[in-house]
Chains A and B, each alone.
Chain A
Amino acid sequence: MAGDARTDWVLRVLGVQVGGAAAARPFDEAAFRRKFAKALQSWRDTSEEVEAQLNVLRQALLKTTDKDLHKIAEVGLNGLTGTRKVGLQTALRELAGASGPAVITLAQKAVSAAQEYRGWVESNEKVKACDAYPHITTPIGPTLGRALGELADALTI
């Protein structure tokens, strides 16, 4: 295996950063866990705010007699964040349950999931449509985007 590929393999599989300043700096798992717990709480708070906003949108759609809008309210909004949110939630759950070197790998995975989710939520047409609601108080795209950025920063080792 060539040097770069090997370094990449080690980082990906074992979560160990080889070479450079990161290698010289020992990983403080306890400190990371504290930071992680705080970031997780903040992310949950934001998720709840967004969920409340989605409920407002759901009610707005359900007050019509249009079947398509009802379907969006009942099904479409539930699946709005699609596999990205699932990917992030799973990564966060795995990270919470891990210990040792796996924490570093799983933190990397969670950061990637958060970044990917952020990129998507800030550019998705469905999210933009939701945010176009005339009485919006918590715009979904920017709110989630900012929270996801903060989460990714907090999880970066």
Chain B
Amino acid sequence: MSHAATKETVSPAEEAWYETMKQAFGAGKGTTTGGPPAHGLTDRRLATLRQTFDYVRTQSPETAIRPLQNIASELAVGELVATESGGKVPPDAAAFKREVDTELAGLKSKAAGIVAGHVSAWQTGIDQLPAARTDATPREKSARALAIQKLVATIESGVARDAYMLQQVGATSDALDVVAAMAASLKEEYKSLVPKRTTSAPPTKLPAATKPQIKGNLTDEQRQQLDNSMKATQALMGADKKTDTPEVDKEVELIGQGINAARAKEAMKRLKTWVAVKEEYREMAKRDTDAAKAFMAEMWWFRRMTVDGTMNELQKKFDFIWGSVGSDNPESDYDLTIRTHPAKPTDKVRWDYQIVQIANEELSKDYGGAPPGILFDCNLYAEAIAAPQELTEEQKRDPAITAMGAMKEQGQDVGALMKLRRFMEWDEYEEYKIEMLKGIADPEDRALVLRQFEEADSLYFIARAEQLRKAAEQNPDEDQRKKELAELAAIPMTPEGQKKLAAMAEHLEHDDARSMAANNAIYVEKLTGVRELEDQYNRATDPKEKAGLLARLKSLQADATFFAAEAYHSEGPLQHVVKAGQSSRLEVEGDGKTYTAEEKARAIEAKKQEKLAALSANQMLQSFNENLGDLLKDLRHYASEPFPGLGFYRSSKYIERLCDAAAVIAPKLPETVQGPFRALKIGGKAPADVQRAVAGLVDIRGEKTGFAEGPGGPAGSEQEKQAYAIEEMAKIFPGVVTLPDLGKVLTMFGRQVNALVRNAITAGMKAQDDNPYFPKPTAT
């Protein structure tokens, strides 16, 4: 057979080769292409990438480059897979890839100019810092310190992003190095500005009874009765049992005798918020320390009397379990949980959240409707837990039921990740996600974890939109209400719209009362849906249906909890911190036995360990992530302070808890994985060492220890506490000078923990549609 070469003469050897090729490639049998094209880019994945791309384009170039590269890389692999298997990616995917590549190329070409602009702006910022005079007053020093702290944080994160961008385009910038060196030098100056300790002794132990002494007309015997009554009630609360209403009545009556309740109520009406109450205390303390302490003590007892009295009356009427496991510390909030639905329901009150609603109204009614979270720093949560499903061994093996269990785990995980997202900027969250995913080896696991992170991000934006809408609807000024609603309705469904939404939500958060009122209303609305589902769950008899309803129930619950003030979003931290940690103490304290201090500590620890042993690695990862989120929240909250001491000791509680979560996770991982996990370090130190080292800060935070007031009164003591916190933090992490430094160290640890733990536990979070149903085709 001749192959009719047109341009050159074909040799017999070539002729034979043509034939060989036709035979080998099966010419004429339709198999020359070697199978159908595949590219692995599903429509859903492409839509997600497109959405991310649209959002990324609205970000600054140095922020956009990392996620853009990620998108480009995923599309490039898709194209490679397609072409190597003899096919093509779909036209829309190819067009999208071109668009991404163009954007990335444009960005790279502009990189040097962008960096030059940043450097110039930062240098202007340095030039405009408040003057550094040697004879500066403390106020001037504080102003310079605050300005340096903010500028250095901006420059450090900016330099890191710009350096990454330049590295990607193979460029360097001497100016960038210079400005980084200037920032380092400013940081050294900042270190010299932070307040130093005025004493050298460690903090001393404060009296164990942290609740303020009750003054007034109580006899010693009555004081003892009040103390016993409160202990008995707390023990019942710690054990999730119903409080004894006559006992609470007695407590309320004794408090009423011990304080001037009318005076306290007037003060509350005048001051309107608990923040203002504490502010009043601080102002008074500057003039008269004793009078200030008496005022704060009276307000503390008044809050207790009002809240406990209200809850006790509701309990008598509706018969339910409620409680608080918080601290008696005067600085602490007083959060309550409603733990069961009413045993004596009425037509209108059937569920726990309806009790929350009534209690909120009752507590607010004498004070112009301000929510109790603002008035008394008292937040109420509906936490009646659906009865756990009891499954036979056969049912436990049922794929449908295990899939539902996996979905429940996913829902809880997303809830915990929403907390992280809430207290990270978009680019911080994006970088955290990208870097963490690099540590996950299995592509299917990586895809699932990616989906969890993306879902948390989407839900976060949806929640923000809901908050804004509710706050607008609640605006009492009709014109303003209409204007705000119209403004919201006009926000386009575009990345620019998303950015505007985020900015508006942040603005709303600065208005505590409005933000809390909106959140409380949404929380109650969401719980209506949760409880309707719970009703269905309780009535269902089919185990599969029950498992499915439970999975949805847990996800909706996490969704609702986003709106509960300062609440945990998932089950893990609730079980770890509240049930195992705080409740164990209350249970032991109220068990009627007499302990020595050592015996009591041992009994509490034994109870705690017993509870922790029952928790899963996934639940502990939820606790880890939520405590990391709470830490970031505190660091953000105290960023406006000139010095980091306050933020260091206020956030120490979360450092301790996330280290504890890491320690509890370790033995729950497969035995042989524990080595690598235990080798993880926080800023070069073992988590257990960090946990021990921050204990001193946690103690001063909880006022277990402190410093003598001296001539400066409470303000002097506070200054010494902050100086101590700075000194201690420098010992724990020598490189940590500012709050953002601390955030970086712990975020890095968070990434490593998530990568390692998710490698080990993600299989348990895979629902049926995450696992390949059909076996993978055998490669040809």
Given A69-B18, A83-B84, A134-B23 contact (CB < 8 Å): no
Query: Shortest distance in angstroms between A135's beta carbon and chain B's nearest beta carbon?
Result: 8
Q: How many Å from the CB of A72 to the closest CB on chain B?
A: 5
B83 in the interface (beta carbon within 8 A): yes
A150 within 8 A of B: no
Q: How far is the CA of A98 from the CA of B439 in the complex (A)?
A: 6
Q: Are B22 and A93 in contact (CB under 8 A)?
A: no
Q: How far is the CA of A12 from the CA of B82 in the complex (A)?
A: 27
Select from chain A the residue with minimum beta-carbon distance to B777: A83
- Binary per-residue interface labels of chain B (1-37) against chain A in the complex, 1 for a CB within 8 Å, 0 otherwise: 0011111101101100110111111011000111100
Q: Is the CB of A129 within 8 A of B25?
A: yes
Inter-subunit contact A69/B3 (CB<8 Å)? yes
Q: Does B393 contact A (CB under 8 A)?
A: no
Knowing A6-B670, A63-B5, A129-B24, say if A102 contacts B440 (CB, 8 Å): yes
Is residue B779 contacting chain A, with contact meaning CB distance below 8 A? yes
Asked if A14 is at the interface of the complex by the 8 Å CB criterion, the answer is yes
* A79, closest chain B residue (CB): B86
Give which listed residue, B6, B7, B80, B670, contacts A89 with CB less than 8 A: B80
Query: Once bound together, how far apart are the Cα atoms of A87 and B441, in whole Å?
Result: 15
B439 near A9: Cβ-Cβ < 8 Å:
no
Q: B80 and A102: CB pair below 8 A?
A: no
Q: What's the least CB distance linking A73 to chain B, in Å?
A: 9
Q: Counting CB contacts under 8 A, is B760 at the interface?
A: yes
The reply to whether the CB of A142 lies closer than 8 angstroms to some CB of chain B is no
- Are the C-beta atoms of B441 and A16 separated by less than 8 Å? no
Looking at the assembled complex, report how far the CB atom of A151 sits from the nearest CB atom of chain B, in whole angstroms.
Answer: 17
Q: Which chain A residues (70-102) contact chain B, with CB distance < 8 Å?
A: 71-72, 75-76, 78-87, 89-90, 93-94, 97-102
Summarize A's interface: helix, strand, loop or mixed.
helix
Shortest C-beta distance, B104 to chain A (Å), equals 16
A101 to B438, CA, bound (A): 10
Given the known A-B contacts A80-B34, A98-B438, are A72 and B670 also in contact in the complex, defined by CB atoms under 8 Å?
A: no
User: A94 contacts which chain B residues (CB < 8 A)?
Assistant: 443
User: Quick one: CB contact mask for B227-249 with A, threshold 8 Å, 1 for yes?
Assistant: 00000000000000000000000
In the assembled complex, B81 has its CB within 8 A of some CB on chain A = yes
Q: A65-B4, A89-B80 are in contact. Are A100 and B27 (CB under 8 A)?
A: no
| A76: contacting residue among B10, B32, B438, B442, CB under 8 A | B32
- B675 at the binding interface (Cβ < 8 Å): yes
Give chain A residues whose Cβ lies under 8 Å from the Cβ of B5.
Answer: 63-65
What's the nearest-Cβ distance from chain A to residue B345, in Å?
49
Q: Using Cβ atoms and an 8 Å threshold, which residues of chain A touch B7?
A: 63
- Judging by beta carbons under 8 Å apart, are B443 and A82 in contact? no
B606 lies within 8 A of chain A by Cβ: no
Q: Is the CB of B17 within 8 A of A133?
A: yes
Shortest distance between the CB of B418 and any CB in chain A (Å): 25
Contacts of A9 in B (CB 8 A): 670
Find out whether the CB atom of A86 lies under 8 angstroms from the CB atom of B442.
no
B32 nearest CB across to chain A (Å): 4
Q: In the complex, what residues of A have CB within 8 A of residue B755's CB?
A: 100, 102
The B436-466 residues at the A interface (CB cut-off 8 A) are 438-443
Pairwise interchain contact A75-B32, C-beta atoms closer than 8 A: yes
Q: Which of A83, A101, A128 contacts B439 (CB 8 A)?
A: A101
- With A and B bound together, what is the CA distance between A99 and B752 in angstroms? 10
**Please, how many angstroms separate the alpha-carbon atoms of A84 and B18 in the complex?**
25
Q: In this assembly, does B207 line the interface, its C-beta being within 8 Å of a C-beta of chain A?
A: no
- Chain B residues lying within 8 Å of A83, measured Cβ to Cβ, are 84-85, 779-780
Assembly CA distance A149 to B10 (angstroms) = 36
| B780 contacts across to A, CB distance below 8 A | 82-83
Checking A10, A87, A106, A126 against B670 with a beta-carbon cut-off of 8 angstroms, the contacting residue is A10
Shortest CB-to-CB span from B670 to chain A, Å, is 6
State whether A69 touches B21 (Cβ < 8 A).
Answer: yes
CB–CB B439/A102 < 8 A: yes
Residues of A within 8 A of B10 (CB): 64
Interface set, chain B 59-83, CB cutoff 8 A to A: 73, 77, 80-81, 83
Q: Specify which of A15, A69, A85 is in contact with B441 (CB 8 Å cutoff).
A: A15
B775 at the A interface (CB under 8 A)? no
Docked-complex contact A86 and B673, CB < 8 angstroms: no
A72 & B22 in contact (Cβ 8 Å cutoff): yes
* Residues of A close to B21: CB separation below 8 A: 61, 69, 72, 129-130
State how many angstroms separate the Cβ of A147 from the closest Cβ of chain B. Answer: 17
A97 partner, pick from B4, B17, B24, B438, beta carbons under 8 A: B438
Contacting pair A86 B33 (CB below 8 A): no
A22 CB–B CB distance under 8 Å: no
Given contacts A61-B21, A102-B440, A128-B24, contact A90 B672 (CB under 8 A): no
Question: Which single residue of chain B is at the shortest CB-CB distance from A134?
Answer: B13
**Which A residues form the contact surface with B (CB < 8 A)?**
1, 6-7, 9-10, 13-16, 18, 60-61, 63-66, 68-69, 71-72, 75-76, 78-87, 89-90, 93-94, 97-102, 105-106, 109, 125-126, 128-130, 132-134
Q: Can you list 23 A-B contacts with CB-CB less than 8 angstroms, sorted by A residue number? A: A18-B672, A64-B3, A64-B10, A64-B18, A65-B4, A65-B6, A69-B18, A75-B86, A76-B25, A78-B84, A82-B84, A82-B85, A83-B779, A84-B779, A89-B80, A97-B73, A100-B438, A101-B676, A102-B755, A125-B24, A129-B21, A130-B21, A133-B17
Q: A14-B441, A64-B4, A75-B32 are in contact. List 10 more A-B contacts (CB 8 A).
A: A6-B672, A10-B670, A63-B6, A65-B5, A75-B86, A76-B34, A86-B80, A101-B756, A129-B24, A134-B14
In the A-B complex, list the 10 residue pairs whose CB atoms are closest, starting with the nearest.
A79-B86, A129-B24, A68-B27, A105-B441, A79-B34, A134-B13, A64-B3, A76-B32, A65-B4, A102-B441
